[in-house]
Structure 1
Amino acid sequence: MHNNSFFKKILIVITVVFFVSCDKDFNSIGDDLVGNDHFGLERKSFNVLAYNQKINAVQSSNLPVNALGVYEDAVFGTTTASFVTQLTLASVNPVIGNNVEVDSVILSVPYFNTPLPNPDLESGENLYRLDSLYGNKDLGKIKLSIYENGYFMRDLDPETGFLETQRYYTNQISDFETLKGSVALNDAADVSQNTAFFFNPKAVRETTTTNGEAATTQSVPAMRLALNKSYFKTKIIDAAASGKLVTNDVFKNYFRGLYFKVEKSGSNPGVLSMMNFRAGTVTIYYKEDSSTDNTVKVSKSILLNLTGNTVNLLSNDVTNATDYTNAATNSDTAAGDEKLYVKGGEGSMAVLDLFDQTDNLSYDANGNVQGPNGVYDELDELRRKDPVTGKRVLINEANLVFHMDHTAMGANKIPGRIYLYDLTNNTTIVDYLFDGTTGTNSKNGLLIYGGLLNTTNTDDKTYKFRITNHIRNLIQNSDSTNVKLGVVITEDINNSAMNKLRLPLQPGTTLTKVPQASVMSPLGVVLHGSKSSVPADKKLKLEIYYTKPN
């Protein structure tokens, strides 16, 4: 009993010290503004101008993950995602023997998956759930045709004097389609490997026989397709003698990779998966004469990795998505939009301008009223120093809360995360950089910064961003620019890289990039905007908790 009491006291002391330390760190940014005075906490909502912006063709080369399939969305239309990749030899300049016979050519790309705890009781097969799979997971099928790619994907851009990486874009389908091979290489009789392909969640089982004994092994679910043996015998095996496999540079120029062409499969519902193609392989299994006895065959293989330059090719059919297309292309940049359509890929984003845009007054160093100064009045008011104390207000917390439009979304798949960033400078905001929290996957880290879907209130699902440090900087530093903010879907919250648009968002503007993690996602969400017609409890506003000196 005494020991328990002692440990409880120690635990309480440690807890108090921990929270005091956290509080000190949390408020350290505003220490120079506060001093030792006592303050009263106040709360105020500020206007935000928010409108839609269409995103057209965007750089989709060498993405960390790629979409493949057909995703049918009642709000945003149908996205069809194809893919092109170069291949590289795992071992260059292989020595090929005589009288080669190709046994099989197997393409394998593992799926993102989560192992389930218990195997199937009858078969003993390991069970998995496929991750990042969108659409009809049970019935969804696509037509998948794999062709030899004939379009050479160079590493460097000649238009920059070969100083920059060559970029490839979502809308270059015709470039690859025109130069593709004449026949599909995944020509097996099994339609699940081509015209009715689906993402199979079953473990891959292989049985091998050694000394008359069969053994079965299991591996994670994967795209596993048999490719045309005769083609690869001629294209790869026979080409070794003429030096086409001597280095990977020579090989990539000779064999320019594979084009994964996706189409809708008849009347079947579509399905789309995120894929890590860089983990994929093509293995050519063959036999050749033994070097010591030509009556004996020796089993060998050539391994090709799905590495090198890649591009995700996207097409969007918005025939039945008139609300989306009208909103995305006819945004109200003066009064804001009622609905914000945020979609990944070649989609759309929301543009935010914080504070009411009225600019009638400003203040000098002594807090006296002056005329317009190019800074919104609401921000000028927050920057104004108190005439008595000479101090500005202290920002305790600042939030942007986006309310999902449940009526517009209907039964659509809801993205788990959106991303808020500095659109003016194409970079992260300071709150993103200051957040050191980590998560268990690519979507659930940076918990303080936010952007996660909150489903606590099923009738009012929201995404919340904490932008306290961003607002503090705006107020503390009078020369700080009140930059425009961008909101997009994100496939990976840890990825803050930017990808170029093929053309600026608007002619004559400097808006030339969008976040790479948005390009990777096929999903979209409709949010309530900032227009005066939006109900007050759903309207997008900037909410600030602050204290001011007495």
Structure 2
Amino acid sequence: MKKAFTILSMVIFGGMLVYNCEPDPDSLGEQLFLDGAANGNEVAYDVIAYNIDNKDSIQSDASKILSSATLGAFSTSQFGMQKAAYYTQLRLPAYDPDFGASAQVDSVVLVIKPQYASDSITTTTDENYVYPDGSVAAKKVVNTYPATKYGKTKANGGNLTVKVHEVTEFLNGYNDIAYSNTVYQTGQELGSKTFNGSVNSIVITKDSDASSLFTSEVGFRIPLSASFFKTKIIDKKGQPELKDVSAFIRYFRGLKISVTESDGYLVQFSPSTAELVMYYKSIDTGATASTQKKYAFSIGTGNVHIGNYNYERKDSAVGAANLASNTATGDGTLFAQGMGGNSIGVKFPEATINTLKNLYQNNKAAIISAKIRIFTDKVESAKFPKPSLMTIVQRDLDVTDLANPKVTTAFTSDLLLLSGTPNFAYLKAYDLDKNPAYYDFTVTQSLKDIVESTKGYEYYKNRYFKIDIGSFLPSSTTGALAGYQYTTRPFSLDRAVFKGTVPNDPYEIKLRVTYGTK
């Protein structure tokens, strides 16, 4: 039985989140309940919970699986101001291009495709539309969808001013580390457009035969400077700058997309779906007249993508909480935020461990289940959508060298050893549609490692758990978790306020242990 359990428990699966209405025990040790073999007792024990200030910085480059780019701004009294921008490189679809003779740029458009509600559509049709290239009688059909927003959707009339600048500082390579608070130098503004909170698709057809003149997928189109691209690209035909990718990304170093506002909402789009299209006319070899052409730059695979997040915590609740944070006694209010914001630290106090060790050694008590239960703040949590996804990792602080303390981070013992057992979930979320909601983090094996060890509390006193907004990401090849460091936190919009160490408060964060005695 023990051997079979060991083999099974070494397998890691991705499906380790469960959303319940009622709590239930985990399967570890459930055999102690069978046939009345044990009496189960659930007891709440104290923990020390505190805010971890991440200095508003997180690795946010493409190598961290930055599958969503964030754009916008959102300000609250709890978390202060957050503004999100995005840097990207671009490449030529083929190098040493031939644009033809007498090439002239008509227009350049950057298209980003924010997430949107596909089931909410408004269609407008213009039967008398005149297509500008050749003044062709046409019909224009526009389908409009509301973008998915996080924040104050009606701030500034629901508008954000989106600007695009040329990046003048080299963004390095795809596998190089980049942090969210790094600001790269920019130069000329290439374009600007007001985003009204909606995205649309466009279809233009010729009246005479209904043939297509123009189509665009759902997105937000930002016109850029035609003269800039004429000088930067067309006029460099045959020059070294356009000969290969290495030369090009050092010549045209990239784009920055940002907003001017400091409050409003956040939207997200996939970097892999962004498009940059240059429309131009030129004379082909052997021809006498110029013809319309379309040149699409490559923005997706292989390019550097960096999320840039700027925060202003002055006069915010989280700013004050971080200044007063106490890792020895805990904090009464806890803040968690994605995209480089706060994490939550939880550690077991000596009194709690000694009590459980005494039960184990003297009463032969076996830990059946152990959860860290944390409640959202009843007042403050009502101001934000409650997160459904969170992560927990184990951290060990080595202070042997006080001048250079080292932190080792890993999956919890439960994730490493128990995720293959039936019904295992490292997180269970309850009452997300109510106020407050609460979350149970499974730490059964992690607690047993300490309580059942022959080593005293002194050995474990620098171990703690780190709780974050976001979810673990699976490997694209194996389906198992890619690693503790690969999560959605670099681009998670969620934030939440929780009850911390507040003695005698019914919603205080606690370690809830179910143990059985023969």
Given the two structures, how large is their TM-score scaled by the length of structure 2? Answer: 0.77
CA–CA distance in structure 2, aligned partners of residues 382 and 249 of structure 1: 65
129-138 or 398-407, larger mean C-alpha shift: 129-138
Query: Structure 2 matches for 1:244-323, cutoff 5 A?
Result: 244-264=241-261, 269-297=263-291, 299-307=293-301, 308-321=303-316, 323=317
3-state DSSP of counterpart to 1:384? helix
Q: CA RMSD in A?
A: 3.5
Give yes or no for the alignment of 1:415 onto 2:351: no
Question: 1:547 offset after TM fit, Å?
Answer: 1.3
CA–CA distance in structure 2, aligned partners of residues 216 and 463 of structure 1: 54
3-state DSSP of counterpart to 1:116? coil
Query: Residue 414 and residue 29 in structure 1: after superposition, are their counterparts in 2 closer, same or farther (change >3 A)?
Result: closer
The residue identity in structure 2 corresponding to 1:485 is F
The residue identity in structure 1 corresponding to 2:410 is T
Query: Structure 2 matches for 1:452-467, cutoff 5 A?
Result: 452=429, 454-456=431-433, 458-467=434-443
Specify the alignment match of 1:166 in structure 2: 176
Question: 1:296 offset after TM fit, Å?
Answer: 4.6
Question: 1:486 offset after TM fit, Å?
Answer: 0.7
Query: Residue 476 and residue 34 in structure 1: after superposition, are their counterparts in 2 closer, same or farther (change >3 A)?
Result: farther
CA–CA distance in structure 2, aligned partners of residues 82 and 119 of structure 1: 29
Question: 1:476 offset after TM fit, Å?
Answer: 5.1
Question: 1:329 offset after TM fit, Å?
Answer: 2.2
CA–CA distance in structure 1, aligned partners of residues 286 and 389 of structure 2: 62
3-state DSSP of counterpart to 2:242? coil
- Uncovered stretches (5+) of structure 1, i.e. residues with no partner: 1-25, 157-164, 188-192, 360-375, 387-391, 438-445, 500-513
The residue identity in structure 1 corresponding to 2:49 is A
CA–CA distance in structure 1, aligned partners of residues 300 and 254 of structure 2: 8
Query: Structure 2 matches for 1:363-402, cutoff 5 A?
Result: 376-384=353-361, 392-402=364-374
Q: Is the 8 A contact 2:72 2:258 kept in 1?
A: no
3-state DSSP of counterpart to 2:237? helix
CA–CA distance in structure 1, aligned partners of residues 96 and 420 of structure 2: 47
Query: Structure 2 matches for 1:147-296, cutoff 5 A?
Result: 147-155=165-173, 165-173=175-183, 176=184, 179-181=185-187, 183-187=188-192, 193=193, 196-201=194-199, 203-209=200-206, 213-215=210-212, 221-264=218-261, 269-296=263-290
Question: 1:245 offset after TM fit, Å?
Answer: 2.1
Give yes or no for the alignment of 1:540 onto 2:490: no
CA–CA distance in structure 1, aligned partners of residues 35 and 385 of structure 2: 50
**Superposed CA offset, 1:121-146 (max 9, x none):** 98986564533543316833333221
133-142 or 324-333, larger mean C-alpha shift: 133-142
Query: Residue 294 and residue 302 in structure 1: after superposition, are their counterparts in 2 closer, same or farther (change >3 A)?
Result: farther
Specify the alignment match of 1:105 in structure 2: 108
The residue identity in structure 2 corresponding to 1:75 is Q
CA–CA distance in structure 1, aligned partners of residues 450 and 341 of structure 2: 31
Q: Is the 8 A contact 1:288 1:300 kept in 2?
A: no
**Superposed CA offset, 1:6-64 (max 9, x none):** xxxxxxxxxxxxxxxxxxxx747787x99999212121212111111211133222223
Q: Is the 8 A contact 2:109 2:276 kept in 1?
A: yes
CA–CA distance in structure 2, aligned partners of residues 524 and 544 of structure 1: 28
3-state DSSP of counterpart to 1:100? strand
Specify the alignment match of 1:403 in structure 2: 375
Q: Is the 8 A contact 2:88 2:255 kept in 1?
A: yes
The residue identity in structure 2 corresponding to 1:245 is L
The residue identity in structure 2 corresponding to 1:332 is N
Specify the alignment match of 1:505 in structure 2: none
One of 318, 324, 345 as aligned partner of 1:324: 318
3-state DSSP of counterpart to 2:248? helix
One of 444, 448, 451 as aligned partner of 2:425: 448
The residue identity in structure 2 corresponding to 1:206 is V
3-state DSSP of counterpart to 2:241? coil
CA–CA distance in structure 1, aligned partners of residues 142 and 237 of structure 2: 40
Specify the alignment match of 2:351 in structure 1: 358
The residue identity in structure 2 corresponding to 1:358 is A
Q: Percent sequence identity over matched residues?
A: 21
Question: 1:447 offset after TM fit, Å?
Answer: 8.4
CA–CA distance in structure 2, aligned partners of residues 249 and 341 of structure 1: 43
CA–CA distance in structure 2, aligned partners of residues 336 and 72 of structure 1: 27
CA–CA distance in structure 2, aligned partners of residues 35 and 411 of structure 1: 44
3-state DSSP of counterpart to 2:198? coil
Give yes or no for the alignment of 1:349 onto 2:336: no
One of 485, 488, 497 as aligned partner of 2:465: 485
Q: Is the 8 A contact 1:126 1:218 kept in 2?
A: no
CA–CA distance in structure 1, aligned partners of residues 412 and 85 of structure 2: 33
Query: Residue 409 and residue 253 in structure 1: after superposition, are their counterparts in 2 closer, same or farther (change >3 A)?
Result: same
Specify the alignment match of 1:53 in structure 2: 52
Specify the alignment match of 2:403 in structure 1: none
CA–CA distance in structure 2, aligned partners of residues 68 and 294 of structure 1: 45
Structure having greater relative contact order (Cα 8 Å, sep ≥ 6): 2
Question: 1:84 offset after TM fit, Å?
Answer: 1.0
CA–CA distance in structure 2, aligned partners of residues 127 and 380 of structure 1: 62
3-state DSSP of counterpart to 2:186? coil
- Uncovered stretches (5+) of structure 2, i.e. residues with no partner: 1-25, 127-140, 397-407, 476-480
Greater share of residues in strand: 2
- How many equivalent residue pairs? 452
Query: Residue 121 and residue 231 in structure 1: after superposition, are their counterparts in 2 closer, same or farther (change >3 A)?
Result: closer
Specify the alignment match of 1:17 in structure 2: none
